[in-house]
Amino acid sequence: MRKILVTGGAGFIGSNFVHHLVNHTDDHVTVLDKLTYASTEESLVGLPKDRIHLVVGDIADAATVDPLVAEVDAVVHYAAESHNDNSLSDPLPFLQTNIIGTYTLLEAVRKREKRFHHVSTDEVYGDLELDDPERFTESTPYNPSSPYSSTKAGSDLLVRAWVRSFGVQATISNCSNNYGPWQHVEKFIPRQITEILEGRRPRLYGDGLNVRDWIHTEDHSSAVLTILETGRIGETYLIGADGEKSNVEVVRAINTYLGRDAEDIEWVKDRPGHDLRYAIDSTKLREELGWTPSFQDFEQGIADTIDWYRENQAWWGPHKHETEAKYAAKGH
Ligand code: NAD
Ligand code: DAU
């Protein structure tokens, strides 16, 4: 039985990955999570107790990290401050967790000689014009726009340096926008669904034409597991499922599934420095490692996600008011 340490395993994508590991492997999973506002232990409820162990702690605390790393075969690193809007109002936690936290983990895997997979974002590449025929590839130059994406870019570069300078056995993945269950209501898709469920209108920043390349979080999980098991050490793999949609297209799909007028939208203040378009070319991952996404029907994926939020109001409801109060203060 392999032993895996999953950092950030109580957050959105990390908890979906933990479920994926339990369902598709015999691994024992230790989750290291600080349980910030973005996470809940409930996302791990129902998993077999003999397969999962939750440690509440900070990835930037070497005294916590080192003994946990010593006990496992591999570390899969999801923990991060992850929301762009928050990074614009308070960048410091992003530097602390995304940079110092990743450094702390790298020092532990270096010392303990353990396999490391670093989960990162396509935002490190900046953005593309709407009509640019190119998509991001592994050789696109880094050009991050926000405090969030610049700290993720910094963390990627630390991983590359620890591979080259110290021989750490690491891989990196940069994924596009995820959707699915357990995503915090501050993020775009859950925010729109829950605004409507609470009787308000969905809210679009700017002109709504910004494009994101959507992937179901289950496909992200299968890609990360594939890279962990078969990826080449020192390599970066882009993860994407050819899911480009403008924000207004996504809101129309949500309105339609919920039986509303597709154009009934609240237009709100734009995000400063708002990236225009992300688009992933995942040819390397598909051709080299044989990975393919399973959730290709976006409308069906959105419908399932909406149903999940309808059925799990007890999970998101307690966080909704505080989140909307933060947005209201910024004019979003
Ligand atoms: P999230 O905010 O939902 O979850 C982050 C988790 O990390 C939370 O459980 C939080 O408690 C934990 N955490 C934060 N600081 C910590 C610390 N100092 N020590 C220990 N735990 C800490 O984020 P997410 O959307 O699930 O993203 C997870 C990872 O995937 C991040 O690294 C993010 O950059 C990356 N990513 C996200 C997306 C996306 O669309 N959401 C896309 C590509 C990559
Ligand atoms: O591309 C991967 C990234 O995707 C991850 O690295 C980040 O962790 C994740 O948060 C996400 O970043 P985005 O900034 O793209 O996601 P967000 O959900 O904040 O917004 C998606 C788009 O929707 C973006 O163009 C801003 C817009 N938006 C967002 C909100 C919250 C709106 O129009 N209205 C909203 O209410």
CA 77 / ligand 1 centre spacing (Å): 9
pTM for the complete prediction? 0.98
276 membership: H or E segment, kind and range: none
- The dihedral built from the CA positions of residue 166, 171, 174 and 178, taken in this order, carries a sign that is negative
| Per-residue pLDDT at 296 exceeds 90 | no
Contacts of 98 (CB under 8 A, 6+ apart): 80, 81, 148, 151, 152, 154, 155
| Per-residue pLDDT at 146 exceeds 90 | yes
| Per-residue pLDDT at 12 exceeds 90 | yes
| Per-residue pLDDT at 187 exceeds 90 | yes
Residue of minimum CA distance from atom 5 in ligand 1: 11
Residue 316: is it exposed, middle or buried by C-beta count within 10 angstroms (0-12/13-18/19+)?
A: buried
Phi first, then psi, for residue 7 (nearest 5°) are -85, 145
148 is catalytic: yes
pLDDT tens per residue across span 250-270: 999 999 999 999 999 999 999
113 is catalytic: no
Sorted by where each begins, the domain ranges of the chain are 3-184+216-242+278-295
pLDDT tier for residue 14 given thresholds of 50, 70 and 90: very high
The β-bridge relationship of strands 211-213 and 244-246 is antiparallel
What mean pLDDT do residues 167-185 have?
98
189: Cβ below 6 Å to ligand 1? Answer: no
Q: What is the C-alpha to C-alpha distance for residues 116 and 193, in angstroms, rounded to an integer?
A: 35
pLDDT of residue 45: 92
CA 312 / ligand 2 centre spacing (Å): 22
Q: What is the C-alpha to C-alpha distance for residues 172 and 178, in angstroms, rounded to an integer?
A: 17
320: Cβ below 6 Å to ligand 1? Answer: no
pLDDT tier for residue 79 given thresholds of 50, 70 and 90: very high
244 is catalytic: no
| Per-residue pLDDT at 61 exceeds 90 | yes
Q: CATH number for 3-184+216-242+278-295: choose from 3.30.420.10, 3.40.50.720, 3.40.50.300, 2.60.40.2300.
A: 3.40.50.720
DSSP secondary structure, 85-141, as one string: HHHHH--HHHIIIIIIIHHHHHHHHHHHT-EEEEEEEGGGG--B-TT----B-TTSP
- The dihedral built from the CA positions of residue 218, 158, 123 and 101, taken in this order, carries a sign that is positive
What mean pLDDT do residues 2-20 have?
98
Which of 122, 213, 244, 275 is catalytic? The answer is 122
Q: Is pLDDT larger for residue 331 or for residue 158? A: 158
What mean pLDDT do residues 7-21 have?
98
What mean pLDDT do residues 292-321 have?
96
Contacts of 299 (CB under 8 A, 6+ apart): 253, 257
pLDDT of residue 103: 99
Strand order in the sheet with 28-33: 52-56, 28-33, 3-7, 74-77, 115-121, 170-175, 236-239
CA 126 / ligand 1 centre spacing (Å): 19
Q: In the predicted model, what is the mean pLDDT of the chain?
A: 97
- The dihedral built from the CA positions of residue 67, 70, 73 and 74, taken in this order, carries a sign that is positive
- The dihedral built from the CA positions of residue 6, 94, 326 and 259, taken in this order, carries a sign that is negative
- 30 bridge partner residues: 5, 53
Task: Pick from 13, 104, 117 the residue to mutate for probing ligand 1's pocket: most ligand atoms within 8 Å of its CB.
Answer: 13
Q: What is the C-alpha to C-alpha distance for residues 204 and 189, in angstroms, rounded to an integer?
A: 11
